[in-house]
Amino acid sequence: MDRRKFLAASTTLAAAPLAAPSIASAQTSFNWKMTNAYGPGSPFYVEGPGSPTDFCKKVAEMSDGRLKIQHFAAGELIPAMEGFDAVRSGAVEMNAANAYFWAGKIPAAQYFTTVPFGMNFQGMNAWLYHGGGMELWDELYEPLGLKALPMGNTGVQMTGWFREPIESVADFKDLKMRIPGLAGKVYAALGVDVKLLPGGEIFPALERGVIDAAEFVGPFQDRRLGLQNAAKYYYTTGWHEPSNVTELLMNKAAWESLPADLQAIVKSAAMACNLESHTWSEANNAAALKDLVENEGVIVNTLPDDVVAELKTVTEKVLAEFAAKDPAAQKVHDAFMAFKAEHASWAAVSEKPLYSL
């Protein structure tokens, strides 16, 4: 190309405008609100590594301020359990909670928090991200104008706190217990008077004898609520919640208004929090449990084998009956159990031998 042709071509390129969509995408900004089912200061569920407030910070930093999310703990903008309706109506764009809180609205949603005798952190995330779980979650929420993502996981939880020891299945009869989700249905089948209370109401109810037992999360969070001052018997097996997913609930129209790069940032930040919250829990629960035993007089026990066996038998029956009542629940149930069986065959080869060393 001679000099004149080169200069002419350069002038033409210099005069060409930049692609408009790129400019619009870079300049568009959003200011959203996120509510939460948990109270101010709650570790894991509100503050700390991998928490919803940490998620908001990550999104702001990753988007260079193009998506700013103002976080409100329970009671700061709306009551603890009203996030679902607030997001659906568009009053807020996001809510942090657990999907099993919406059991009365969408029964099948409970499978996206935890399932009794279900899967642990590895299995649950494998199902959600790579086993069709997210697609089913989308299918369930889409007709309601909602979009959800996993944003946290506690890992295996403790069975809970009891004012009196549990020595047989008969000890569950007429017991008043705070327990959400599908596990509550199992306990109810054994004669437990099941109560659903927000985290902040558990201690006073247990202390005053309004309830006889309570399940919350694990040693670190339970200690912060002071549950060791209201009951001394602390049981484990994790049968009821082998993992527990924090739900990032979003208004679908708001979600679809985000450019593709901001959607990718939200997904990446949520996935980062899912991992970070779990590792934070794993890093802190051991020391908290040791403190509860050595300094707070807590008695830690494993549920008797015959009790766990009965709980498993009842769980299988309760889940089968529950799923049969709702086509959506049946579809999710079948998919969950099929993946669980497949994942368990691998875990039996990979994880189980390691734990037995």
Residue 122 located in a structural domain? yes
Same domain (yes/no): 278, 312: no
- In angstroms, the CA 177 to CA 171 distance is 12
Question: Are 251 and 279 in the same domain?
Answer: yes
Residue 265 domain flag:
yes
Which of 231, 266, 284 delimits the end of a domain?
284
Query: Do 228 and 322 reside in the same domain of the chain?
Result: yes
| pLDDT 10s digits, 163-221 | 999 999 999 999 999 999 999 999 999 999 999 888 889 999 999 999 999 999 999 99
Give me the pLDDT at residue 357, please: 80
Output the domain CATH number for residue 310.
3.40.190.10
34 and 177 in a single domain? The answer is no
Contact between residue 171 and residue 291 where contact means Cβ atoms under 8 Å apart: no
Q: Which amino acid is at 57?
A: K
20 found inside a domain:
no
Same domain for 49 and 134, yes or no, is: yes
Instruction: For residue 144, give Cα distances in angstroms to 69, 111, 172.
Output: 22, 17, 37
Distances (CA, A) of 207 to 41, 203, 240: 21, 6, 23
Q: Containing domain of residue 137, as a range?
A: 30-153+245-284
Residue of 29, 87, 36 whose CA lies nearest to 59: 29
Asked if 95 contacts 87 with a C-beta cutoff of 8 angstroms, the reply is: yes
- 224 in a known ligand binding site: no
Decide if 90 is inside a domain.
yes
Question: Which CATH number goes with the domain that contains 250?
Answer: 3.40.190.170
Is 157 marked within a binding site?
A: yes
Does residue 356 form part of some domain? no
Distance between CA atoms of residues 86 and 91, nearest Å: 5
Is 256 annotated for ligand binding? no
The total number of structural domains that make up the chain: 2
- pLDDT of res. 199: 86
Please count the other Cβ atoms lying within 10 Å of the Cβ belonging to residue 137.
Answer: 24
Distances (CA, A) of 88 to 3, 112, 148, 245, 351: 63, 18, 12, 20, 40
Quick check: is 10 in a domain?
A: no
pLDDT < 70 regions, the chain: 1-27
Residue 13 resides in a domain: no
Q: How many CB atoms lie within 10 A of CB 334?
A: 11
Tally of CB atoms within 10 A around 112: 27
Instruction: Flag whether 223 is marked binding.
Output: no
Spacing of C-alpha 207 from chain mean position: 27
Q: Are residues 252 and 235 in the same domain?
A: no
Same domain, 310 and 189: yes
pTM score of the predicted model: 0.89
Q: In this predicted structure, what is the pLDDT of residue 355?
A: 81
Q: Based on the fold, state whether residues 50 and 101 are members of the same structural domain.
A: yes
**pLDDT the model gives residue 174:** 96
Q: Are residues 250 and 237 in the same domain?
A: no
Is 55 annotated among the ligand-binding residues?
Answer: no
Q: What is the DSSP string of 289-306?
A: HHHHHHHH--EEEEPPHH
| One domain, residues 105 and 205 | no
Domain boundary among 284, 312, 339: 284
pLDDT reported for residue 27 = 53
Predicted confidence at residue 19, as pLDDT, reads 38
**Same structural domain, 87 and 209:** no
Of residues 43, 89, 87, the one with CA closest to residue 69: 87
Say whether both 173 and 210 belong to one domain: yes
Does residue 61 lie within any of the structural domains?
A: yes
How far are the Cα atoms of 132, 161, 198 from residue 176, in angstroms, in the given order?
37, 12, 15
